[in-house]
Structures are given as C-alpha cells and as structure tokens.
Structure 1
Amino acid sequence: MEFDPDWSAIANNLIHLGIAYLLAIPIAWNREKYSRSAGLRTFPIVAMSTCGYMLIGMEVLDTTDAEARVMYGIITGMGFIGGGAILKSDKGRDVSGTATAAALWGTGAVGLAVAWARFEIALLLAALTFCTLQFIYPIKERLRGDEDERG
C-alpha cells in the first residue's frame, strides 16, 4: 500500500480539529477555574475527538445513514462520559457535577458541528455554554442567598 497524501484534505481536517479544540478552551477554563472534575485537558480533547470521529466517519462511510449512526454513537458516548462527572453525596441529598456533565455533552456537540462545517452552530453552542457556566452560577448563588435571608 502506497502512501499518497491528499494535502488539501489533511489541511482541511487540521483546521476543523483546531477550531473544535479552540472553541472548547473557554468552557474548559471555566470548569478549571471552579476546580471541577473536568477542565483544561478534558474539554478540548472532547471537542477535538468528537470532531475527529465524525470527520473519519464522513470520509470512510458511503451513506448518510452510516454517518448518522456514527453521530448517534458519539452522542450516546458523550452521555456516558458526562454521567461519570456526576457525583452523589453519601446521604443522597446533594448531587454535583451536572453542569460539568451537560457542558461535556454540549462540547461534544461543538465538535460535531465543526466536523460538518456548521461553524455558526459550533460558535453559538460554545459561547452559550461558556456564558451559562460563567454568568448564571453567580446569579443562582445570589438567589439562593436571598432565600436563606427570607427564612
């Protein structure tokens, strides 16, 4: 078997993988900042990997049905990865990690969108995920404090 690289395809794939990686960095920074179980290493790898799996599927499979099965597998797998980020306390009352799990799932969707060259979807998913993590939590804590003061 002779290796005859298609340099334009290689460049295209590297660009897609790089964009997926970069779009995940703000989300990763947020999770790292708040010392969550997944952070600066996990989120970019998730986005890049989901993009990579989809790019491979789009290249080697010959039907949209087969590509849809690859996407289905990625979405399912992301659910399992997210499930691993959710922790339950010994008493069973407190659950943590659900935002990180949701962010991991969303970051997988960023990678899928980039693979399909739907950069507007990827950018919006990444931006809204980051903004939700960054700005909604302080509002939630403030509301929780108001409830404590009212008794």
Structure 2
Amino acid sequence: MVDWLSAWGLADPGAVVRHLADLGLAFLLALPIGLYNERHERSAGLRTFPLVAMAACGFVIVAVSVLGRESEAQGRVMEGLITGVGFIGGGAILKYRGHADGTATAAGLWVTGAIGAAVGYGLFDIAAILALAAFLTMRGLKPIKKFAQRDPADAAETRR
C-alpha cells in the first residue's frame, strides 16, 4: 500500500497538508482582490484572481519539489511564471479610440501571481503585504483617480 501512495506523491502526509495549506492560503489572499473586481464588473474577477494565485503557487511548489529550493533553474521558473501571468493580464486590457481599459486589472493579476509565488516559496509575509497593498490600491485609490480625472473646466464651473 505504501508503494502505491508514494507513486502518487502521498507517502508524506505532512507534505500533502502543507501543499493544501499553501494553495488554500494563495486562494484566500487573492479572494478579496477578485471580489472587489467582480463587484465592479471588471474583465477578471472572483474566479480569475484566486485561480492565478493558486496556479502560481502550484508551479512554485512543483518547481521546488522537482528542482530543489536552491536550484539555479528556479530563476527560469520565475521568468516563465512572470511571463505567463503577464500574458493573462494582457488579455484583460482592452484598447479602443486611443484609450486603454483594464490596465489596473492586468496589474492586479500580475501582483496576484506574485502573491501565489510568494506563498509557494514560503514567503508568507511578502504574500500578505502584496495582497493588502493590492487590495488597498484598487479600493482606496479609486476616489483619488476619479478626482484626478475630473475636467478642470467642470471644477471651475462648479465653484461659480
């Protein structure tokens, strides 16, 4: 029975629990970002952000398991991960009439990939800081963005 379990990578139940915990944490850290985007009807939302975080975390877990934590190949894994998540984010950007929409969503997806990668490498403090900063940036800077986008002529008209 043990040989069958080890063939499936289940010989170390502790590792399975750690992997489940890491993937769950990546999911949970990305969830508020995805929920915020979903509530504001962005092109990516509640499902996309947690999936990106879990996928990034999963790729890192697999890379560490196969290549070893200290392997120089970890840099190539990160390069591929950064490029892949950037490609997904690029799909969220829509351009029309000289205006691009979705750049914040694309950046949010990119940072969500970094959150997942940080969890996969066991850098939980970085993952938590990134998640908090991304959520606060998307939510907290929205009023400032609206203020900055106001037409100065409209503001002068309102003051009269």
TM-score for the superposition, normalised by structure 2: 0.88
- The reply on whether 1:100 has 2:99 as its aligned counterpart is no
State the alpha-carbon separation in 2 of the partners of residues 59 and 67 from structure 1: 11
Counterpart residue type for residue 87 of structure 2: F
> How do residues 58-137 of structure 1 correspond to structure 2 at under 5 angstroms?
58-62=64-68, 64-89=71-96, 91=97, 93-137=98-142
Report which of the two structures shows the higher radius of gyration computed on alpha carbons. 2
- Give the equivalent residue in structure 1 for 2:38: 32
Tell me how large the CA RMSD over aligned residues is.
Answer: 1.4
Q: Secondary structure at the match of 1:37?
A: coil
Counterpart residue type for residue 37 of structure 1: S
Deviation of the 1:35 alpha carbon: 0.3
Deviation of the 1:126 alpha carbon: 0.4
Number of residue pairs the alignment of both structures matches: 149
Deviation of the 1:122 alpha carbon: 0.3
- Give the equivalent residue in structure 2 for 1:18: 24
TM-score for the superposition, normalised by structure 1: 0.93
Aligned to 1:9, which of 9, 12, 15?
15
Counterpart residue type for residue 54 of structure 2: M
